[in-house]
A and B are shown apart, each in its own frame.
Chain A
Amino acid sequence: MTKHDVKNNDKTKPGLGRRAVLATGVTGALAIPFLARGAGNVLRIGVPTVLSGPIALLGTSSRNALLLEADRINAAGGLAGRKIELVFEDGKAQPQETARVARELVNTGGCELLIDATPSSGAFAVQEVVRDLGVLCIHTCSETSSLTADPKLRAPTAFRCARQGVHDSIAGGAYLAQFANAHKFNKWATCSPDYAYGRDTTAQFLDFFRHFKPDIELVTQAWPKLGQPDFTEVITKLIQARPQALFTLLYAGDLSAFINQGNVYALFKAMTVCTPNVDYPVLSAIKNIPDGIQSGTRYFEEFPPLPANKAWSEAYRKRFGQYPTNWAWQNAAAMMFLEAAAKKAGTSDGKTLVAVLSGLTIDCPFGTNGKITMREDHTIIDYAIGWGRTIAKPPYIADIKPADWGQIIELETAWKKQLGYI
């Protein structure tokens, strides 16, 4: 035995107790997840979401909205007489971890329903779990249209209660074509994050934009990296190209950083910036909100201009001390769909609710006309989509024009046919 080993062994002797404690603790902890929990008269709803990393803010806002709605429904007697208990788990925005969490929530967490509050990276993984387990699931955050549009990807018990990329592209294309015609803006540039969402959705937006205004000239396209801290190079490139207007799909921290840095270079005097992605977290991170950004409304308490929408936002702000996000309203609407379906079916049984949810129209503060419909292809329509212009003071977006849902559905149908989905 070497001197080193002797020294080591001496040090390990007092550690026996520690090891025993460690072993017992690990064994006990390992056993916990394998013990199934009883259901009783409580309806457990599993919520895989994102509670860590760069988009934890959105996951937290989803949790807030669900808690707000669950408490309201429970106070009114629960879902078909059963009290709702929400079980949140962090999928870390990783597909394999989100799939694990979703399976665990159903298999051992005793959850009878799932509300999947994860972005597309997680939602597609959850979709496969749902296909396997046959559990009722409402995706509340994935905006990727193919999740429900592509029949190959659709799962019979999965629904989407979230806005869709294709809807936003049509609405944005129509609004901005009108805006461009009014101001005789033909020279356009784009600036979107350099990954699938940025590139695909920009291409889709341009398709619909050209549908409404065929004579646009694209003078430059910039593709900054996701999470890029310094936009100097992008901003100078855009200014040098001298477009009359810029369409950008930057979002969250990237969008606020871009606007803050763009202010320094007087970008907003050089061109009109248009984006569908302004929301309250972005507004709160911008030091000086420039006037005149053409902006979509992801969640906005003034739009739709319904008392119920304003009241919901105020209740949210009162309880959580911050403004709701786009993910927040989508999750709240999912709970409202479950509430209405359970009321109509007289049960909280998942299989029964699947049949009832399909084609269901509910009263909802986030609908263009106070109503939202869960279409037969398991995705929502008639939710509020509007475009307006930013102003420096509250309510920050003015002159909001609602999108035409008839036009959206007509062009969406053509798009689906083009891709062979229908």
Chain B
Amino acid sequence: MNGFWRDSGVALAALVLLLGAPLAFSSPAFEDFIIRLSALALFATSLNLLVGGSGMISFGHGLFYGFGAYAFALLMQRTTLSLASAVLLTLFLAALVALLVGAVCIRLKTIYFAFVTLAIQMLFYSVIISWVSLTGGDQGLQGGIPRRVIAGIDINQQGHLYQFCAVLLVAGLFAMRHITASPFGMTLRMIRDNEARAAFLGIPLWRPKLAIFVLAGVFAALGGILASLFVSGAYPEFADWPFSGQAIFAVMLGGIDSFLGPLAGSAILLALNDIFTRLTEYHGLVQGVVILLFALGLRRGVLDFLRVLPGRGEVASR
């Protein structure tokens, strides 16, 4: 319970800091950065619920990110649902999709699990490309997302969109933190570390694995919703495999064993992209070299590395 109150305090402090930042200095670029970070960090952290927390390496997690973006954008464009209703309905639909996909995938292990998730993601990607009348095909869902005002929040305004994303980022991370710290999260870690022992203890393996797969899908869809709000549309790239790769990269870069690792990894990844794109057209080369230096120099994610600093003692338990 102490951990819960500590996490609540940290979440509250982070929220106050994020919401107060624009009052101290007004910077649209900073706000844009946090909005984009919210989307990627929720996506990457949800992936780490599977990769780090449960040992299920999904290569197709972008399916849910893309699904969230498209479902939300279509609901806003084609219905008169309020913002909150569209968000909740999108998350519900994402849960259903994750349930179906999870039912197929979770009985598989290691590389087979990874590749079946990837195959299903590419199937979804092909549907987006082919179903032009609904999705706009490879040109994406155009025409903008109608941004209806709800409870005084007008996300047409950059400041309000920033606050909306900041709140969802903190709330989403807090919820995921609670999941990992709960007995349910511990059960998953036990399955990850020794599946046979967990089965001998009477745990029906498929149930927690399917549950975490669905939850991870829902949080990834939440990231997709924020991404679609930022670009005011949805694009096939959101559901393409390189985007899943980017989330895996953020997890590895930030630290697979630290809860905030994917958040840190996402921030580093976005910052490197933004800085080097601005400085040189050979940004891919420079980013690659910098990331290589991180990988070779730290030999683990940044936050995982910081946890083994001298004076910090042993690596904290997972």
Contact = CB atoms under 8 A, between A and B. Distances in A.
Interface of A: 1-2, 5, 8-9, 12-13, 15-16, 18, 26, 29-30, 32-36, 51-52, 56, 89-90, 92, 94-97, 99-101, 103-104, 107-108, 120-121, 124-125, 127-129, 131-132, 144, 146, 150, 152-153, 195-197
15 contacts: A2-B314, A13-B310, A29-B275, A33-B29, A34-B33, A35-B27, A52-B282, A89-B277, A94-B237, A100-B32, A100-B36, A104-B29, A124-B233, A127-B142, A129-B232
A128 B233 contact: yes
A153 B143 contact: yes
A99 B314 contact: no
Contact of A125 (B29, B235, B281): B235
Given A8-B308, A18-B297, A121-B140, A33 B233 contact: no
B237 A96 contact: yes
Nearest to A98: B231
A121 B233 contact: no
A54 to B, nearest CB: 13
Contacts of B151: none
Interface string B116-143: 0000000000000100100001111011
A107 B28 contact: yes
A128 B231 CA distance: 7
Nearest to A107: B28
Contacts of B284: 52
A132 B35 CA distance: 15
A407 to B, nearest CB: 28
Given A18-B297, A52-B281, A132-B156, A95 B233 contact: yes
Interface residues of B, number: 46
B232 A131 contact: yes
Contacts of A101: 277
Contacts of B29: 33-34, 104, 107-108
B139 A124 contact: yes
Contacts of A2: 314
Given A30-B271, A101-B277, A108-B27, 9 more contacts: A5-B314, A30-B275, A90-B281, A90-B283, A96-B230, A104-B278, A120-B139, A121-B138, A131-B144
B238 interface: yes
B1 interface: no
Contact of A96 (B129, B132, B231, B275): B231
A52 B140 CA distance: 21
A13 B309 CA distance: 8
Contacts, number: 121
A152 B143 contact: yes
Contacts of B30: 34
A1 B311 CA distance: 12
5 tightest A-B CB contacts, nearest first: A107-B28, A128-B232, A108-B29, A51-B281, A95-B235
B3 interface: no
B274 A125 contact: no
Residue of B139, B230, B232, B238 contacting most chain A CB atoms (<10 Å): B139
Nearest to B32: A103
B183 interface: no
B138 A15 contact: no
Interface in B136-161: 137-140, 142-144, 156, 158
B75 interface: no
B227 A96 contact: yes
Contact of B32 (A52, A107, A121, A153): A107
A52 B227 contact: no
B315 interface: yes
Nearest to B25: A34
A103 to B, nearest CB: 6
Residue of A36, A92, A124 contacting most chain B CB atoms (<10 Å): A124
Nearest to A126: B231
A1 B314 contact: yes
A12 B143 contact: no
A99 B231 contact: yes
A8 B233 CA distance: 47
A196 B131 CA distance: 11
A22 B158 CA distance: 32
B204 interface: no
Contacts of A120: 139
Residue of A12, A35, A56 contacting most chain B CB atoms (<10 Å): A12
A53 B309 CA distance: 40
A95 B281 contact: no
Contact of A5 (B25, B27, B282, B315): B315
A9 B313 CA distance: 9
Interface in B236-264: 237-238
Contact of B27 (A26, A36, A92, A99): A36
Contacts of B274: 33, 100, 104
Residue of A56, A132, A146 contacting most chain B CB atoms (<10 Å): A132
Nearest to A91: B277
A12 B310 contact: yes
A108 B140 contact: no
Interface in B167-220: none
Interface string B257-292: 000000000001001011101100111100000000
A18 B32 CA distance: 30
Contacts of A99: 230-232
Nearest to B267: A30
B283 A52 contact: yes
A1 B144 contact: no
Contacts of A146: 142
A9 B300 CA distance: 13
A89 B29 CA distance: 15
A35 to B, nearest CB: 8
A9 B28 CA distance: 41
A40 B165 CA distance: 34
B258 to A, nearest CB: 16
B235 A9 contact: no
A89 to B, nearest CB: 6
B271 A96 contact: no
B314 A196 contact: no
A241 to B, nearest CB: 25
B256 to A, nearest CB: 16
Given A9-B310, A195-B138, A29 B271 contact: yes
Given A12-B308, A94-B237, A108-B27, A144 B271 contact: no
Nearest to A106: B28
A129 B232 CA distance: 8
Nearest to B306: A19
